[in-house]
Structure 1
Amino acid sequence: MKPDHLSDVTFASLNLHPRLLSGLEKLGYGHCTPIQAACLPRALAGQDLAGQAQTGTGKTAAFLLATMQHLLTNAPRSPEGVVAPGAFMLAPTRELAVQIYNDAKALGADTGLSMTVCYGGAGYEQQRAEIERGVDILIGTPGRLIDFYKQKLYTLDYVEIMVLDEADRMFDLGFIDDIRYLLRKMPPPAERKSYLFSATLSHRVLELAFEHMKPDVQKIEIEPEQVTAERVKQALLHISNSDKLQALVGLLRQHDPVRTLVFVNTKRDCEQVENALNLNGFEAATLSGDVAQTRRLKLLQDFKDGKLPILVATDVAARGLHISGVTHVINFDLPQDAADYVHRIGRTARAGAQGDAISFCCESYVYSLPDIENYIGMRIPALPESVEQLKAGVPYYVAPPRPSRDFRGGPRRGGGGGRPGGGRGGPRRR
């Protein structure tokens, strides 16, 4: 029986290449999600797409399948021996770039297409060597890709498909000049396919789409009745700053979560939360923007594998990461941007599952609450347990060391990417 969160459209009905259907079958995918059902027929018909959909609904698979279908059914444009990716995919963060790469490897396992991911902070020589061997699908973050491009390791003259994922985040992180630089090195919009996906199709994102895509670009928006995932059970607890750590420990003991993301606004506070949890019998680790890349990837893998039950994170983990089985998202701090609330709680209840999202509303970040509730179109219900009840569940609470005196605790912004492989030298279609 088809799960409720999927559409009636099957992948088999889309005339996809047999090697793609084989990969989908191995992954257990039979029906499209709504965004896939809306995008794939248009993309397969040759149209450019500007897509918006709720996080966790299958946007990545939509553009990957459309890309691979084109590459498998069309001869390469580039001359033999020239390092020239047929598809070029840009992501704002290392984690999202790696996620796209991992999904591409899984979906394209039987295709024979070569894929490489490039990102800053690690693997420079390895990434360089992989590009030099040639690649069909090049995935990465703007800085590292521009670095290699300026070294003339590859050319963008023969790009057939351009993908820009999380375009709104590109603006937020200041990458838009880099994006425009790379787009201008590619063939003009009329000579390539372009897929742009974003959590929000704001005016600035649409301006970018209309500037660098075909004039008849298809705008696709899949929005549920609620902005937040329907299967996320949300709750809110008003609390003082001084009670938050002990209440968090009590909450985790009472709810007994299997795999939990705890979101904190600053790296400094992440360390406090991690220390408090570890001192009180939980296994937790921090994921933030300045954690070394090799450790970041290991933490994410341990979290996905169930070896690490609690991941404390800044918003570096709020976008684009598909981690199945996250039972709880806890906003230790309310985010300062309402859209980030949706991205955070979207880490749970993915692919039709259910999950809990519990938010602490303290005096430092209470000002964010009206904007969040206005954005999601609902009042967040109160958590059944009181602060006193949660603290009572931790009679022997061990407090972590206090942060250094130069930190005053005011609201500040926090937060910030497989193994490459393949070669372009030989024929990519078999």
Structure 2
Amino acid sequence: MLFQALTLPEPLSQGIDEAGFTECTPIQALTLPLTLGGKDVAGQGQTGTGKTAAFLITLFDRLLRQAGGGGQPRALILAPTRELVVQIEHDARLLGAHCGFSILAVYGGVDYQKQRETLRAGVDIVIGTPGRLIDYLKQKVCSLKAVDMLVIDEADRMFDLGFIGDLRYILRSLPPYDRRQNLMFSATLNHRVMELAYEFMNMPEEVRVDADQLTAANIEEVLYHVASKEKFSLLLGLLRREAMERVMIFVNTKREGERLQALMTANDCKSRMISGDVAQEKRLKIMRDFKAGKLPVLIATDVASRGLHIEGVSHVINYDLPEDSEDYVHRIGRTARAGATGKAISLADERGALSLEAIEAYIGHPIPTEWAEDDLFVTDFKRAARPVRSGKGPNANRIPEGGAKKRPRRRRS
């Protein structure tokens, strides 16, 4: 189905054309006829299939055809992570460039007063994480009583991150569910999410695309079994052998990510690491550099596994296999987006192998296994310097030029 067949308002059609969209993806073709007709929809589709464009096109179409909200927000989009909020804002400004609506991204870590003043002055569309938005609502900076459309993106992740209480607080601040349109999209719609859907939506249509195939067909998956002490040796060999233009490497913990980045730096592999503890301004700069091609390797915890669209990611590497099976689907979905092809490589060490059976049961197929030849391992790599531990003084852990400190002899009494 072509977008021009949808008879959208001219300002919206112009934004779609400038974004380079011509033909609807399967999730768009199934949902847009319903959502443009005013129906509530809970949609599931593989990552990278155009769910964000589906709800943004519906949102702009509805706002263009209806009267304004008197300076209060007319549409609210909720997402679980700051990075996803920033990306949705970018896509909204692209598709809605000629629609004339004011858009504000509300999230923690940056611009508290600036966001507050902009929200108080009045905006049409708010895209935000629940926590920062609730903070402004409690201060009565704005009202959500004029919201005509609600979108919840990555709803299953909202559960994982414990946002359910915050969601219900925000829902109580909105008009009744039958006086607004409600859309919910995610790569996975489980039983818990659908319970929430029936709680805040008005008889939603459930739309699932490729529900039996959670991983995209254009992703080449491969698994290597490797001892934990040889993981970096194999990773370095893979990075040197494969034509990796832009790669995301996922780890389970911040500590492992920092250790891996130190090893990469010691071996002249340019990389940066993001996790939930990294300052927001720094995270955004790292993401900008990665998207612009200035940074070839991004190391990340699962803060970057959901919803982010980064063009040209040729490879995803699970340096650690995720403990949550759903995270495997979202991680490898960072490659092969919008019809492109990509490769997902997983390294299963002694600990990670414990998660393998559950992951394969969840995705419905075994991950093809390859056995690494000896020449693929890089054995002469440089070790990373150990981090300096904090002591009582600035030189507490410094080793003098003459060697290690000698312990003073104890006098015998």
3-state SS of the aligned residue for 1:335? Answer: coil
Q: Which residue, out of 294, 311, 315, partners 1:324?
A: 311
Amino acid corresponding to residue 367 of structure 1 in structure 2: L
Match of residue 52, structure 1, among 41, 44, 47: 44
Could you tell me the TM-score, scaled by structure 2's length?
Answer: 0.92
Give the match for residue 175 of structure 2.
187
Percent sequence identity over aligned pairs: 52
Residue of 8, 13, 18 corresponding to 1:26: 18
Equivalent in the alignment of 1:335: 322
| Structure 1 residues 231-275: Cα deviation after superposition (integer angstroms, max 9, x where no partner) | 111111100110111211111011131100000011001011111
Match of 2:55 in 1: 63
**TM-fit CA distance, 1:403:** 6.9
On the 8 A contact 1:149/1:155 being kept in 2, the answer is: yes
Which residue of the other structure, out of 188, 191, 199, is the alignment partner of 1:211? 199
Deviations 1:302-357 (CA, angstroms, capped at 9, x unpaired) = 00000000000000000010001000100000000111111000000001111111
**Which residue pairs with 1:119 in the alignment?**
107
User: Which of 299-308 and 191-200 deviates more?
Assistant: 191-200
CA distance in 2, matches of 1:64, 1:227: 23
Aligned residues: 390
How far did residue 395 of structure 1 move?
4.9
For residue 350 of structure 1, give the secondary structure of its aligned residue in structure 2.
Answer: coil
Amino acid at match of 1:316: V
Unpaired stretches in structure 2, ≥5 consecutive residues: 390-413
- Superposition map of 1:149-298 within 5 A: 149-214=137-202, 216-223=203-210, 226-298=213-285
Task: Tell me the equivalent position of 2:375.
Answer: 389
Aligned to 1:314: 301
Match of 2:383 in 1: 399
Partner Cα separation in structure 2 for residue 298 and residue 73 of structure 1? 37
One-letter identity of the residue aligned with 2:385: P
Distance 2:375 2:121 in 1: 60
Q: Tell me by how many angstroms 1:144 deviates.
A: 0.4
> Counterpart in 1 of 2:290?
303
Deviations along 1:64-112, one digit per CA (max 9) or x if unpaired, are 0100101011112x34xxx410001111110111111111000001111
Q: CA deviation at 1:213?
A: 1.1
Amino acid at match of 1:172: D
Rg larger in structure: 2
The answer (yes or no) to whether the contact 2:225–2:371 under 8 Å persists in 1 is no
Residue-by-residue CA offset, 1:8-41 (whole Å, 9 max, x unaligned): x111111111111101111111011111111111
Misfit runs of 4+, over 2 Å? 383-386, 401-405
1:383 deviates by 2.8
| Superposed CA RMSD | 1.5
1:73 paired residue number: 65
Q: Give the deviation of 1:401 after TM superposition.
A: 3.3
* C-alpha separation in 2, matches of 1:18 and 1:291: 42
The amino acid of 2:230's aligned partner reads D
Contact 2:40 2:205 in 1 (8 A): yes
Conservation of the 8 A alpha-carbon contact between 1:261 and 1:310: yes
Query: Would the aligned equivalents of 2:233 and 2:379 in 1 still touch at CA under 8 Å?
Result: no
For 1:10, the equivalent position in structure 2 comes to: 2
